[in-house]
Structure 1
């Protein structure tokens, strides 16, 4: 599903100055803070941000790229990888050839796509948990919060055996709801 931040991708492709100015105002600060807190300068931050936008422009113009997560999360991953690469070059720990840089960009996109997929899976899981009854919701949330089943049973004021059996039933129902979802196959579970 296309994210509402897709408008910024279209602004890059169409050189829409108004939206591009908004993109810089809205997203560059987070990148700047990340780079400044990791031995960079404001000039480094600007360079990395612009490189990330160029990478994104290239991807969008050649592959009909559609954004399905918030742009700030996507840009953050791309910029973080570019900045780590730059730090490695400065420390002379690693020589990056142009082919390696292309792979890094592809890795950044792969990481961003994985992040998007993870967010979509989490959203589906959250939606399906909400479809369960209150008892199942509470039991699953308590057990997923790191509580032992003994603690869960004590909190819910039920026997340990009942809590385990009920959790098993709730999980089975949740799995069924997720598998019946139209999104299930597209999320590569």
Structure 2
């Protein structure tokens, strides 16, 4: 179900100055406090916040993006992840602990929805990256079968027998799973 904060996503797409000003005044302060408490400057906070908004803009303009959780929680998690990545670059460490701002109390459900969405998005990106590594025949077969066509239709389009198409699909999926498990990201995505 679309969240009422979807209006801010639409404001980004339409460059609605009034709603964009409201978005900045309503959400940027929490991000600024989080970054200042975690070795950042006001300029860092502004950069991270603007980068997060730009990411949202591209996501919304390239997909039918529908916000299903409060924008506050979603933006906070995006900014937190971006800041962790930035700190990791600066410190050359693999683990950075972010001190959360105690003032942010959006409820566990809001953060859970936002975290679930981000996790799902990261899984989708990994899946697309690994599908791209498959051979053309596997890519075509998986694309056809995932587009809602029955295996009979897929077999007809590929001009192979139904049995061969099913066996080939199983092999392609097994190869895809193996490629995904080899990725350093796989375990962190909680499959």
Residues 130, 166 of structure 1: alpha-carbon distance in 2 compared, 3 angstrom cutoff = same
Residues 108, 43 of structure 1: alpha-carbon distance in 2 compared, 3 angstrom cutoff = farther
Query: What SS does the aligned partner of 1:103 have?
Result: coil
Residues 18-61 of structure 1 show CA distances to partners (whole Å, capped at 9, x for unaligned) of xxxxxxxxxxxx837449x9xxx965652343211112223333
CA distance in 1, matches of 2:145, 2:10: 36
Q: Aligned residues, how many?
A: 138
CA distance in 2, matches of 1:114, 1:48: 23
What is the RMSD computed on CA atoms of the aligned residues? 4.0
Structure 2: gaps (5+ residues): 1-6, 61-65, 73-101
CA distance in 1, matches of 2:20, 2:70: 13
Structure 1: gaps (5+ residues): 1-29, 84-98
TM-score (norm 1): 0.57
Residues 126-175 of structure 1 show CA distances to partners (whole Å, capped at 9, x for unaligned) of 11111111111100011111111111111101111111111011111111
Structural mapping, 1:15-34, within 5 Å = 31=8, 33-34=10-11
Q: Which residue of 2 aligns with 1:19?
A: none
Larger-gyration structure (1/2) = 1
Q: Aligned pair 1:54/2:29, yes or no? A: yes
